[in-house]
Amino acid sequence: MRVDFCHVIPEGLEAVNVAPLLCAGMIGFRSLRVAGIQHGERVGLYGFGSSATLAIAVLQSWKCEVYVATRGESHRKRAEELGATWVGAEDARPPVPLDRAVTFAPSGKVVVSALSALRKGGVVAINAIHLDQMPAFDYDTLLWGERQIRSVANMTREDARDFLVVARDLAIKPRVSVFSLDDANNALVAVKEETEDGSAVIVP
């Protein structure tokens, strides 16, 4: 095994709490970088699952205002608990123009919603691995003005190393729901139906 593919786990965290950092946390951190977020900017998060709940802590440490649009009352409540500046339903529009946005929901419609909330020169980063069809949208009103759409393919080893340092410094401790390996199917159902309060973690 090559040592440069290994990462130092922050002290004080149990393995089950580290698991979400190594997946949802790292790809969320990568999305913030792909979006080019600068300290103090207004940032929209579209969807508020495991990845976004970890990204908001980083954004707050950067003194960003965070605007969350997401479906599901439990997700909106969680965003409020974590200190989002504004929280609305998935089709709601933030009250101010955004500098950047990250979409976590695998929906092309959500990407267009995020794009419509941007200032000129703003950026939308698409975090979702898969995306349904992008609906048609008006170029002159939504993309013109040097707005950009960027995709997030995967994180790099540098992202992983940097995020683990950030997670340690901010004392990020994800909420988790633990499942045994024998209960893996139920864990998948819980993720699909969003029935658990926290990231699903399977342990042997």
pLDDT of residue 193: 82
- Which structure tokens are listed for 150? 């960027």
Q: What is the 3-class SS of 116-147, one letter each residue?
A: HCEEEEEEEEECCCCCCCCCCCCHHHHHCCCC
On the question of pLDDT at 167 being above 70, the answer is: yes
Provide the token pair at 101.
Answer: 């946005």
Q: Render pLDDT for 9-51 as a digit per residue (tens, 0 to 9).
A: 877 777 888 889 988 999 999 999 999 999 999 999 999 999 9
- Structural domains of the chain, with CATH: 3-173 (3.90.180.10)
Q: What is the pLDDT at residue 1?
A: 66
With 80 as the cut, is the pLDDT of residue 139 above it?
A: yes
